[in-house]
Amino acid sequence: MAIERSIEHDKIEVVGQYKAVQVREATVITEDDTEISRSFRRYVLHPDNDITDQTAEIQAICNAVWTDAVKTAWAEFQASQEAA
């Protein structure tokens, strides 16, 4: 009767003009290879976030969509919001 807990990133989406990366993380509890519980947590990554602690898959997606142009546009948007 082994109870195990695992975390998986089951949904990764790129949205918006500034290519925000939305991640859904599922925490799965299994008992004897039968799933007994699943809960979710979501978080968003923006082009100015440090992604070194993310999985290789998430890092690859971020690096692919966060071009220099996107990073510059995001920084300009952030600056305009702070100035307002």
Q: pLDDT digit string (tens) for 10-63?
A: 999 999 999 999 999 999 999 999 999 999 999 999 999 999 999 999 999 999
Rounded Cα distance between 44 and 25, Å, is: 11
Cα separation, 53 vs 50, whole angstroms? 8
Identify the DSSP state of 73: H
Domain residue limits at 66: 3-83
Please tell me the total count of domains within the chain: 1
pTM of the model: 0.88
Determine the pLDDT at residue 38: 98
Positions of E strands within 32-82: 34-45
Interior angle at CA 44, CA 49 and CA 26, nearest 5 = 125
Which stretch of DSSP H or E encloses residue 61?
helix 56-65
